[in-house]
């Protein structure tokens, strides 16, 4: 199996290298074929690995493949850890990536950077695969930074747009903040365990439980709490949690296929995966779990509210990603790691579906993205309409959809969690059900129903997108509808994650979920006895009434609550705060360092000052150079007398 494990990431890498270095020689068709074949190979090999782990009971594979160096007894290695968690992740990543690759043929067919784009998305897939398959923190950090680098290239793919340049720089800088915390967390782990290997760290974690250190003089921190919080700060950047969320909506400046890939299977899921993988550490710190659940809950509700006022079709879906990532993070804080991964899996399919469906609409609308200029597209784009409906129902957790099973599991787990902050978290995710349903179907109704608000030229050219676009949509709609039915038992209640995820007995959230589960059908019926289903129905009904039945009400509500609208429209002024405090502050510090440090101290004092000093010294010394021998003899004798006097008297 080792050769299969190696082939999974290398197949995508090979496709990326060929498309990148030989793109002009192989042409546009060659670029998409070589990358699609590479990702397809990775996907089918991932299925073999999943079958081997899930059905054949394969033992855990944990081997170093290459030792880079050994320094002071610390091994820096490249290796793989294959158990249930990476087996599931690589399957999801490659499945979604394959659909995105095929879809890209239709979406990017007229773009001048066609070969370059295929190179980037295939490289993105490779980076994510290396991240999830790693067995040590060094390789994890490599994949972590690699997905960040490629996301920078993809968000700014249309580099002639000022907005794209701003967006990719914003993503890069915000993620550097999170990554710095992540690196410090790895450093703390290494300092107290003496290893970068996951299993060795987990086995030595007790050394961090009893140890303390002073980050601030006079204030003792639990080392395990400090390590977990620092690691989670890395996840806050990658998985876009408040306040490091600001980069994700702006990532919409990249082409739609990469929006789907970032939001569904790569990059943003890295943080969720990492915390789940580090469950043996997080379980040792209730403080860290509380920190995680509060941050996740805040993201889930407050980012969802922003989605209500968005008019760009991609940004609505983007804010839904932020909200759903909040749900996953809440599950992590509740020690329901398997529920978080389950929602990550279902979310990957329906979120990729929603993004690619939005891209299909954008193609048909001649790259118009404002939902206020759409309407009535159902009769022109029936396939896109029905797959969008499937994706929207999954997003809101409609009973029986894939999103229902994973979201309801998170709600039950959060309700039964006992860590500090779980009450606030449950209220946030419960209200989030209504909010999600409202903004999702607001977009759905404004795009596909009601009066046609586009111009006549656009209307005359409206039609369903080609098969290369619609076929991936149909293939993604199938798991979005049914995957919850066939996987919930295996993912949540079997021994699939037994050795990958550790949960202490005192954290009984998942036990409560297990008690409520008596088969998928019964789980669906059980949902009708709870509040979330009716909150979702209320959200859909409210959206229908306000935006279809009585559209004047939307304008009236906006005018009546204009201050709330302005707060949401300005995204709680996070961007403004960052521009004033951090961006302006950084520029101010730079100005001070330039004027005082560079211009005054370095150039003025050291460079120019030393030159002036040499000039002054030379101007004085030159008067001693008379050219008369008797003057030089007198100077020599005087110097000799002084030297002898110093020796004798000293």
Question: What are the pLDDT digits (tens) for 515-565?
Answer: 888 889 999 988 888 899 999 999 999 999 999 999 899 889 888 999 999
State phi, psi for 547 to the nearest 5 degrees.
-105, -15
Instruction: Please state the rounded mean pLDDT for residues 623-629.
Output: 77
- CA pair distance 482, 18, nearest whole angstrom: 36
Give 137's pLDDT tier (boundaries 50, 70, 90): very high
| Furthest CA-CA distance within the chain | 116
**485 touches 342 (CB < 8 A):** no
The answer for 628, left when phi > 0, alpha when psi is -120 to 50, beta otherwise, is: beta
Instruction: Give pLDDT tens digits for 338-371.
Output: 999 999 999 999 999 999 999 999 999 988 899 9
Give 207's pLDDT tier (boundaries 50, 70, 90): confident
**What distance lies between CA 634 and its chain's CA centroid?**
80
Question: What's the confidence (pLDDT) of residue 56?
Answer: 85
Kindly tell me if the per-residue pLDDT of 413 is higher than 90: yes
**381 touches 360 (CB < 8 A):** yes
Question: What's the confidence (pLDDT) of residue 527?
Answer: 84
Question: What's the confidence (pLDDT) of residue 650?
Answer: 65
Q: Is the peptide bond before 244 cis (omega within 30 degrees of 0)?
A: no
Instruction: Give pLDDT tens digits for 302-338.
Output: 999 999 999 999 999 999 999 999 999 999 999 999 9
Kindly tell me if the per-residue pLDDT of 638 is higher than 90: no
**70 touches 90 (CB < 8 A):** no
- Look at the chain and count its residues: 650
**241 touches 247 (CB < 8 A):** no
Residue 213 β-bridge partners: 221
Instruction: Give pLDDT tens digits for 365-403.
Output: 988 899 999 988 999 999 999 999 999 999 999 999 999
State phi, psi for 136 to the nearest 5 degrees.
-150, 160
Question: What's the confidence (pLDDT) of residue 439?
Answer: 93
Kindly tell me if the per-residue pLDDT of 586 is higher than 80: no
Helix (H) or strand (E) holding 71: strand 61-71
Residue of 566, 234, 525 lying closest to 404 (CA atoms):
525
Residue of 448, 627, 422 lying closest to 543 (CA atoms):
448
Instruction: Give pLDDT tens digits for 27-43.
Output: 989 999 999 999 999 99
**What distance lies between CA 251 and its chain's CA centroid?**
11
User: Tokens 């960040």 — which residue?
Assistant: 148
State phi, psi for 214 to the nearest 5 degrees.
-105, 105
Instruction: Give pLDDT tens digits for 146-165.
Output: 999 999 999 999 888 888 89
Give 580's pLDDT tier (boundaries 50, 70, 90): confident
403-413 burial, b at 16+ Cβ within 10 Å, e below that, comes to bbbbbbbbbbb
**334 touches 276 (CB < 8 A):** no
Instruction: Give pLDDT tens digits for 596-610.
Output: 877 888 887 788 888
- In the structure encoding, which two tokens stand for residue 446, read together? 């404004």
- H-assigned helices in 466-508: 467-488
Kindly tell me if the per-residue pLDDT of 506 is higher than 90: no
Tell me what percent of the residues of the chain surpass a pLDDT of 70.
100
Kindly tell me if the per-residue pLDDT of 263 is higher than 70: yes
Tell me what percent of the residues of the chain surpass a pLDDT of 90.
56
User: Tokens 């290997």 — which residue?
Assistant: 197
Question: What's the confidence (pLDDT) of residue 45?
Answer: 96
From residue 340, give the alpha-carbon distance in Å to each of 225, 274, 550, 633. Answer: 21, 11, 38, 91
**362 touches 283 (CB < 8 A):** no
What string of H, E and C letters represents the secondary structure of 269-280?
HHHHHHHHHCHH
- CA pair distance 186, 137, nearest whole angstrom: 7
- H-assigned helices in 156-239: 162-193, 198-203, 206-209, 223-238
**545 touches 553 (CB < 8 A):** yes
**244 touches 236 (CB < 8 A):** yes
From the CB of residue 548, how many other CB atoms can be counted at a distance below 10 Å? 16
Instruction: Give pLDDT tens digits for 49-59.
Output: 999 998 888 88
What end-to-end distance do the CA atoms of the chain give, in Å? Answer: 82
- In the structure encoding, which two tokens stand for residue 442, read together? 């607001």
Question: What's the confidence (pLDDT) of residue 34?
Answer: 95
Instruction: Please state the rounded mean pLDDT for residues 175-195.
Output: 92
* 568 or 621, which is more confident: 568
- Average pLDDT of every residue of the chain: 90
Give 213's pLDDT tier (boundaries 50, 70, 90): confident
- CA pair distance 196, 140, nearest whole angstrom: 10
* 110 or 318, which is more confident: 318
Look up the pTM and report it.
Answer: 0.89
SS3 content of the chain, % helix, strand, coil (to 5): 75, 5, 20
Give the 3-state secondary structure of residue 518. coil
Question: What's the confidence (pLDDT) of residue 582?
Answer: 72
- CA pair distance 342, 361, nearest whole angstrom: 29
Give the 3-state secondary structure of residue 305. helix
Kindly tell me if the per-residue pLDDT of 168 is higher than 80: yes
- CA pair distance 447, 383, nearest whole angstrom: 14
Those residues whose C-beta lies under 8 Å from the C-beta of residue 581, and which sit 6 or more positions away, are: none
The answer for 367, left when phi > 0, alpha when psi is -120 to 50, beta otherwise, is: left
């Amino acid at each position: 199996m080792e050769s299969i494990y190696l082939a999974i990431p290398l197949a995508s890498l090979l496709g990326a290298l060929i498309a990148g270095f030989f793109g002009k020689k192989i042409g546009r068709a060659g670029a998409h074929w070589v990358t699609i074949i590479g990702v397809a190979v990775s996907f089918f090999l991932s299925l073999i690995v999943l079958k081997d782990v899930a059905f054949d009971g394969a033992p855990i594979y944990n081997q170093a493949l290459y030792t880079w160096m050994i320094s002071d007894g610390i091994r820096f290695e490249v290796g793989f850890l294959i158990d249930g968690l990476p087996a599931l992740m690589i399957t999801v990543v490659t499945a979604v990536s394959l659909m995105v690759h095929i879809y890209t043929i239709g979406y990017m067919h007229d773009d001048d950077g066609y070969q370059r784009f295929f190179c980037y998305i295939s490289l993105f897939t490779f980076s994510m695969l290396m991240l999830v398959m790693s067995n040590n923190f060094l390789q994890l950090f490599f994949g972590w930074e690699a997905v960040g680098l490629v996301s920078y290239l993809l968000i700014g793919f249309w580099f002639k747009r000022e907005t794209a340049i701003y967006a990719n720089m914003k993503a890069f800088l915000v993620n550097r903040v999170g990554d710095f915390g992540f690196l410090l967390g790895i450093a703390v782990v290494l300092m107290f365990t003496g290893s970068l290997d996951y299993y060795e760290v987990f086995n030595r974690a007790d050394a961090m439980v009893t140890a303390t250190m002073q980050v601030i003089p006079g204030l003792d921190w639990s080392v395990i709490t400090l390590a977990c919080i620092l690691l989670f700060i890395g996840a806050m950047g990658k998985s876009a949690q408040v306040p490091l969320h600001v980069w994700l909506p702006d990532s919409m400046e990249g082409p739609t296929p990469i929006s789907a890939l970032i939001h569904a299977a790569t990059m943003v899921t890295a943080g969720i995966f990492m915390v789940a993988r580090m469950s043996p550490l997080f379980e040792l710190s209730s403080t860290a779990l509380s920190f995680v659940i509060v941050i996740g809950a805040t993201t889930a509700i407050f980012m969802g509210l922003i989605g209500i006022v968005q008019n760009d079709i991609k940004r609505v879906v983007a804010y839904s990603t932020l909200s759903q990532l909040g749900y996953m993070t809440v599950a992590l804080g509740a020690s329901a790691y398997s529920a978080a991964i389950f929602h990550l899996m279902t979310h990957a399919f329906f979120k990729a579906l929603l993004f690619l469906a939005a891209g299909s609409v954008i193609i048909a609308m001649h790259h118009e993205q404002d939902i206020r200029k759409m309407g009535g597209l159902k009769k022109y784009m029936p396939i896109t309409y029905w797959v969008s409906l499937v994706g929207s129902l999954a997003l809101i957790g409609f009973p029986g959809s894939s999103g229902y099973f994973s979201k309801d599991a998170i709600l039950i787990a959060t309700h039964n969690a006992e860590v500090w902050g779980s009450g606030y978290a449950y209220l946030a995710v419960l209200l989030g059900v209504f909010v999600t349903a409202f903004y999702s179907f607001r977009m759905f109704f404004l795009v596909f129903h009601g009066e046609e608000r586009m111009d006549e030229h656009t209307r005359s050219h409206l039609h369903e997108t080609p098969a290369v676009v619609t076929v991936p949509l149909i293939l993604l709609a199938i798991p979005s509808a049914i995957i919850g039915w066939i996987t919930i038992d295996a993912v949540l209640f079997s021994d699939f994650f037994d050795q990958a995820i550790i949960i202490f007995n005192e954290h009984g959230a998942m036990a409560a979920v297990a008690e409520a589960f008596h088969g998928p059908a019964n789980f669906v019926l059980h949902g009708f006895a709870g509040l979330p289903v009716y909150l979702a129905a209320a959200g859909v009904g409210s959206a229908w009434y306000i935006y279809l039945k009585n559209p004047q009400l939307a304008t009236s509500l906006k005018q009546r609550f204009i201050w709330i609208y302005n707060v949401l429209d300005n995204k709680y002024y996070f961007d403004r705060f960052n521009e004033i405090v951090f961006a302006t502050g950084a520029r101010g510090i730079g100005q001070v360092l330039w004027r005082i440090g560079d211009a005054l101290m370095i150039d003025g004092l050291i460079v120019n000052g030393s030159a002036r000093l040499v000039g002054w010294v030379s101007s004085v010394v030159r008067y001693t150079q008379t050219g008369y021998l008797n003057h030089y003899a007198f100077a020599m004798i005087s110097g000799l007398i002084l030297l002898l006097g110093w020796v004798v008297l000293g």
